[in-house]
Amino acid sequence: MIVQITLTRNELFLIKEMMPLWQKYADAFIFMDDRSTDGTYEYLMENKEKYNILNILPSNCTDTELTTESTTRQRLYDEALKHSGKIICLDTDEYLDGTINKTQLEDLLETNKDVLFYLKWIQYTAHDKIRVDGPWKSNYKDRLASYSKRAIFVPTQMHSEHIPNPGQYGIINPPDLFIAHMQWLDKKTVAVKQYYWKILDFITRTRDNTATVPVTAYDDSVANFNWEYETFSPTLKIPADIYSTQDISSSYKYKFIKDKIKEFDIPNLNDWGMDIH
């Protein structure tokens, strides 16, 4: 059995699209709900049997206390390991795609115990277009592994690894398998997301005196929205305009930005002219 683990917050509109896609490779699911207020928990509870959802954990995080992401992800991973050593970890805006089927993937994991697999991170920007400038031309992420025993995350404050390294690693390349990522589908949405991390990092540095990712890392990632594209197949399996159905100004990230700017008197950290600050 392959178990998928996902940490989510207020992304029910994505979960409803993703669940059937996630089932292509996962037999069961464990979620950690990070204080969602959009009905996520209720939806997952209502569909526990339909999607074989084994558990829905609370995150125990707050917006005022410093938390360690690797500790949070360790709880999620440990819960999955109770059921299976074959584990997929995906964010809510990701799904796996490729030419291999679930049986082939399970056989691969069964014959490669204690191996962490890196997959190419494909950045969709439209139905049949992907982003290929800078680091997005060839970017691999940890999302899949097989364990014969418990592994431990590297302690990381934020931007933790998604799944712990059991001792060895391998690579699976497209077209066999890859990660389809939705982050860049809507520029306003991604601007708010990246600026949210800038604000959170600012608070972590000034209030908690903790090292964080430099502001320039987010600027480099966004690249002032001057992106390069390539046509890509297979095409995106969810509506490319899905983010346009959401009111970004009512999102928790947007509200967090506005509240914390006032609370900590944060200067404009470069919101790329998107009128977020």
Compute the distance between CA of residue 251 and CA of residue 63 in angstroms, rounded to an integer.
14
**Can you give the pTM of this predicted structure?**
0.94
Give all strands (DSSP E) within 59-200, no chain letters: 86-89, 94-97, 115-123, 129-131, 140-146, 168-172, 178-181
pLDDT tens track, the chain, 277 positions: 999 999 999 999 999 999 999 999 999 999 999 999 999 999 999 999 999 999 999 987 776 666 778 899 999 999 999 999 999 999 999 999 999 999 999 999 999 999 999 999 999 999 999 999 999 999 999 999 999 999 999 998 777 899 999 999 999 999 999 999 999 999 999 999 999 999 988 988 887 777 777 888 999 999 999 999 999 999 999 999 999 999 999 999 999 999 999 999 999 999 999 999 9
Q: Enumerate residues 6+ apart whose C-beta is below 8 A from 168.
A: 114, 115, 116
pLDDT given for residue 63 in this prediction: 66
Q: Please tell me what DSSP assigns to residue 115.
A: E
Would you say 117 and 144 are in contact if contact means Cβ atoms under 8 Å apart? yes
pLDDT given for residue 211 in this prediction: 73
DSSP 3-state of 142 = strand
CA angle (228, 234, 240) in 5-degree steps: 65
Would you say 141 and 84 are in contact if contact means Cβ atoms under 8 Å apart? no
Taking alpha carbons only, the member of 201, 187, 205, 200 closest to residue 274 is: 187
Compute the distance between CA of residue 248 and CA of residue 27 in angstroms, rounded to an integer.
33
Domain 2-181 is classified in which CATH homologous superfamily?
Spore Coat Polysaccharide Biosynthesis Protein SpsA; Chain A (3.90.550.10)
Cα 30 to chain centroid distance, Å, stands at: 14
pLDDT given for residue 20 in this prediction: 97
- What are the structural domain ranges in the chain? 2-181, 187-226+247-264
Amino acid at 54: L
Which whole-number Å values give the CA distances from 128 to 108, 169, 237, in the listed order?
A: 29, 30, 10
* Token pair 């991973």 in the structure block, residue: 77
The HSE-up count of residue 22 (CA atoms within 13 Å, CB side) is 31
Amino acid at 105: L
